């Protein structure tokens, strides 16, 4: 039987009741259409959790007893996606509502496909609301809300955990982490994003199961890794990942830089994430390539130096180093080519910004990666890898009116002319010096 949330609603701290004005029209409309067709339908998961905490949800999930095909028949602009976990994406205006069919009870779980270590490979057995709640990851993510009747349902004591700021795995934590180790990463994401703590049993299971993260197919981890770093508390999430020894599983290429100093994350990564957090909190866009540029920079730089020492020209060395490190990292987290190709461009442009060749300045200012490359140069400056003077020059020139730009470029030409003739003189003098 369903237990309405309203009994404990009055106990919620800080007036955390659901404000119907915060609900998206699209989510309400999808729920209503399903009701009118005779199905059960409720909002569930992150959106209910966020509404109760007083945040505006960024997306909505609807759970229903209609099968994916029945859902698809009701909505013209809908499609079934996923194999391991089939869901329906219903498009309403600019929003996409994810509609999932109630999953089956844990007792049915033996019928689902599993790997040797118990990882669930497919989960498309249908059930009712109660079994659906038991199959979700954490109690705070298994709260249901009917926007039409304004009724909430809590089968797992999630409301109490929400009030106490606790992340608690539903069911036996070790088994639940083993059957889907992505939940380890999700636990860290919610700890960071919500500032919640793990329940003691969930924490010890998480610590025991960390190595299972390495079993998750690399393709599935890309989106989850992005979510963990782009949630507005990425720096904290990264510290937690380091603390739980998950960072080295997700980024084995970083291993040499993660050995010392138990809790600290490498400065360039910390600064990149702090920067990303500030942007997310201000509602500014953040991009995956910038994140991966910062995450992979240290190994890329090490490889770059080796290749240059072996006589490769700098740009070729930089491209090769990037390609090699990305290829290595793709064994753990599959970085799509659309992302890695931009990482390559950002690094090339940043290198050219540092070269400051007078003939390339206009082209660089107009380059579509200028902004990201300049931001990356700021990061390198913050960790002492780029001069203040260089950064100031690029900061000034990008906002300067054209006559000033021209002036700055001629000043640059003059000074590099001087530098060149000086170096030519020194080169010429050397042999005679040697002969003396």
Q: Which residue ranges make up the site for ligand ATP (CB under 6 A)? A: 45-46, 59, 61, 136-137, 141-142, 180, 182-183, 227
169 three-class SS: strand
Residue placing its CB nearer to ligand ATP in the complex, 142 or 258: 142
List of residues 6+ apart from 350 with CB closer than 8 A:
373, 374, 376, 377, 380
CA distance 429 to 406: 34
CA distance 81 to 87: 6
**Up-side HSE of residue 331: CA atoms within 13 Å toward CB?**
10
Q: How far is the CB of 175 from ligand ATP (least distance, A)?
A: 12
**From the candidates 50, 61, 123, 146, which is the catalytic residue?**
61
> Does residue number 48 form part of the binding site for Mg ion (CB under 5 A)?
no
Q: How far is the CB of 308 from Mg ion (least distance, A)?
A: 45
The residue of the chain with the least Cβ separation from ligand ATP equals 46
182 binds, among ligand ATP, Mg ion, none (CB under 5 to 8 A by kind): ligand ATP
The residue of the chain with the least Cβ separation from Mg ion equals 46
> Does residue number 50 form part of the binding site for Mg ion (CB under 5 A)?
no
**From the candidates 123, 137, 154, 180, which is the catalytic residue?**
137
**Up-side HSE of residue 194: CA atoms within 13 Å toward CB?**
26
Of residues 1-30, those binding Mg ion (CB under 5 A) = none
**From the candidates 59, 65, 215, 323, which is the catalytic residue?**
59
Cα distances from 361 to residues 347, 353, 373, 397, 412, in angstroms, run 16, 8, 14, 9, 10
Active-site residue flag, 15: no
Q: 98 with 86: CB under 8 angstroms? A: no
> Does residue number 106 form part of the binding site for Mg ion (CB under 5 A)?
no
106 binds, among ligand ATP, Mg ion, none (CB under 5 to 8 A by kind): none
For CA atoms 39, 45, 47, 49, the dihedral sign is positive
Q: 33 with 78: CB under 8 angstroms? A: no
Active-site residue flag, 260: no
User: Applying CB under 5 A, which part among 58-66, 175-183, 265-273, 336-344 lies near Mg ion?
Assistant: 58-66
- Tokens representing 67 are 């099968």
**Up-side HSE of residue 346: CA atoms within 13 Å toward CB?**
28
Q: How far is the CB of 142 from ligand ATP (least distance, A)?
A: 6
Please state the φ and ψ torsions of residue 152, each to the nearest 5 degrees.
-110, 155
Active-site residue flag, 180: no
- Please pick, from the candidates 46, 104, 270, 289, the single residue that binds Mg ion as defined by CB under 5 A: 46
CA distance 77 to 312: 53
- Tokens representing 217 are 């197919």
Q: 290 with 375: CB under 8 angstroms? A: yes
Q: How far is the CB of 261 from ligand ATP (least distance, A)?
A: 30
Q: How far is the CB of 200 from ligand ATP (least distance, A)?
A: 21
> Does residue number 68 form part of the binding site for Mg ion (CB under 5 A)?
no
180 binds, among Mg ion, ligand ATP, none (CB under 5 to 8 A by kind): ligand ATP
Q: 56 with 50: CB under 8 angstroms? A: yes
Residue placing its CB nearer to ligand ATP in the complex, 167 or 254: 167
Q: How far is the CB of 81 from Mg ion (least distance, A)?
A: 15
H/E stretch holding 428: helix 402-435
Q: How far is the CB of 130 from Mg ion (least distance, A)?
A: 21
137 binds, among Mg ion, ligand ATP, none (CB under 5 to 8 A by kind): ligand ATP
Residue placing its CB nearer to Mg ion in the complex, 59 or 130: 59
Beta bridge partners of 43: 62, 145
Residue placing its CB nearer to ligand ATP in the complex, 153 or 182: 182
Question: Which residues bind to Mg ion, rule: CB under 5 A?
Answer: 46, 59
> Which residues form the catalytic set?
59, 61, 137
């Amino acid at each position: 039987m369903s237990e309405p949330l309203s009994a404990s609603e009055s106990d919620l701290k800080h007036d955390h009741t659901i404000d119907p004005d915060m609900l998206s029209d699209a989510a309400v409309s999808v729920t209503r259409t399903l009701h009118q067709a005779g199905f059960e339908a409720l909002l569930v998961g992150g959106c209910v959790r966020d509404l109760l905490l007083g945040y505006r949800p960024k997306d909505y999930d609807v759970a229903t007893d209609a099968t994916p095909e029945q859902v698809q028949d009701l909505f013209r602009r809908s499609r079934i996606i996923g194999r391991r976990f089939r869901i329906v994406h219903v498009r309403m205006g600019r929003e996409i509502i994810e509609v999932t069919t109630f999953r089956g009870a844990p007792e049915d779980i033996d019928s689902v496909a599993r790997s040797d270590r118990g990882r669930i490979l497919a989960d498309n057995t249908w059930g009712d609301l109660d079994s659906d709640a038991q199959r979700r990851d954490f109690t705070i993510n298994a709260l249901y809300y009917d926007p039409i009747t304004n009724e909430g349902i809590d089968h797992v004591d999630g409301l109490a955990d929400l009030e106490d700021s606790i992340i608690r795995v539903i069911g036996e934590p070790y088994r639940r982490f083993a059957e889907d180790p992505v939940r380890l990463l999700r636990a860290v994401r919610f700890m960071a994003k919500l500032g919640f703590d793990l329940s003691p049993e969930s924490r010890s299971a998480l610590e025991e199961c960390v190595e299972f993260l390495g079993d998750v197919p690399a393709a599935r981890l890309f989106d989850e890794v992005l979510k963990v770093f782009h949630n507005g508390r990425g720096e904290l999430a990264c510290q937690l990942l380091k603390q739980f020894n998950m960072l080295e599983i997700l980024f084995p290429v970083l291993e040499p830089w993660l050995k010392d100093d138990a809790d600290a994350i490498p400065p360039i990564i910390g600064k990149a994430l702090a920067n990303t957090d500030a942007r997310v909190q201000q509602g500014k866009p953040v991009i995956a390539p910038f994140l991966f540029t910062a995450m992979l920079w240290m190994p890329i730089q090490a490889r770059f130096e080796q290749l240059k020492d072996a006589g490769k020209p700098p740009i070729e060395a930089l491209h090769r180093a990037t390609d090699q490190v990305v290829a290595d990292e793709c064994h753990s987290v599959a970085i799509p080519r659309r992302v890695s190709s931009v990482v390559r461009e950002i690094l090339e442009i940043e290198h050219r910004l540092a070269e400051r060749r007078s003939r390339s300045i206009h082209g660089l200012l107009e380059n579509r990666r200028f902004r990201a490359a300049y931001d990356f140069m700021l990061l390198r400056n913050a960790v002492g890898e780029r001069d203040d003077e260089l950064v100031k020059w690029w900061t000034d020139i990008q906002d300067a009116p054209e006559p000033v730009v021209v002036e700055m470029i001629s000043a640059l030409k003059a000074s590099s002319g001087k530098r060149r003739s000086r170096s030519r003189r020194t080169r010429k003098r050397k042999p005679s010096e040697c002969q003396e």
